[in-house]
Amino acid sequence: MAKQTIERTDYEDDLLARLYDAEYDAFDGDVAYYTERLAPGPVLELACGSGRLAVRLAADGRRVVGIDCSEAMIRRARTRRTHNVRWKVGDMRNFALEETFANIVVAFSGLGFLQSEADRRACLVCCRRHLRAGGLLVLDLINPAAALATGELPGERTVVDPQTGAVFHKSTAVAAEAEQIRIRYTWRSQAVTLVQMLTLQRLGAPRVEAELEGCGFYLLDRHGDYRANPPTDRAPRLILLAAPFA
């Protein structure tokens, strides 16, 4: 029997959601950053994926709502046995909830997957509408100055499908351009090859800060990693903390 090949440009696939969860669920390097800085009160996480961060914030005693556009990711998130988290399939550019939040988080480069300024501004306008006075907005982006160079990343990762036990070997290829990064992930098992193509915008601080101000936010602070070090050209992340104008 010929090996099946599945191609995706998003996360709308149950196998892909399981593999993503298997690879990243153990990562907790950013958790303390959020738990030490978020304001008291509920949290809205946009682009929450399979719920890695949301469940840890809930374990810290917070009530959390997680939104993601991928039904497969939300289905995966709903398999978690956790309290104080509500999952919702939705578009981060256009959502309407019947509550406001003390914190809104867009973790793990989520804002960078919005391909245009208009899309990002639509997202930020929704955030402004759902954030309480004195609340906190956190945007975690890849640092464009330290973004990956073009080429095949060395080595492969082994990822095990938690449902079937199938072993997948994952390779990554990157094409870094002036304004964006194109990433090709390939997972190979004995039975199937899964290929995912993603495009991530390279967003610098001046651009995002201008978009924040245009949508009713002012900058509180910026960091270059999850230890809250200052941003530099070599820092891995660009983390912006903002609050709404009164």
Domain segments of the chain: what residues?
A: 4-10+146-200, 14-145+203-244
What is the spatial distance between Cα 9 and Cα 194, in angstroms, rounded to a whole number?
11
- Residue among 99, 58, 95 nearest 80 (CA): 58
Confidence of residue 87 (pLDDT cuts 50, 70, 90): very high
Superfamily of domain 14-145+203-244 in CATH is Vaccinia Virus protein VP39 (3.40.50.150)
Confidence of residue 149 (pLDDT cuts 50, 70, 90): low
pLDDT of residue 47: 97
List pLDDT tens digits, range 100-126: 999 999 999 999 999 999 999 999 999
The CA-to-CA distance between both ends of the chain, in Å, stands at 63
List pLDDT tens digits, range 159-210: 999 999 999 999 999 888 889 999 999 999 999 999 999 999 999 999 999 9
pLDDT of residue 3: 66
Confidence of residue 12 (pLDDT cuts 50, 70, 90): confident
Supply φ then ψ for residue 119, to 5 degrees.
-65, -45
Q: Which residues contact 235 (CB under 8 A, 6 or more apart)?
A: 143, 145, 146, 224, 225, 229
Average pLDDT of the chain, as a whole number: 93
What is the spatial distance between Cα 59 and Cα 85, in angstroms, rounded to a whole number?
10
pLDDT of residue 131: 98
Q: Residue 19 is encoded by which pair of tokens?
A: 């593999």
Q: Cα Rg for the chain, rounded, in angstroms? A: 18
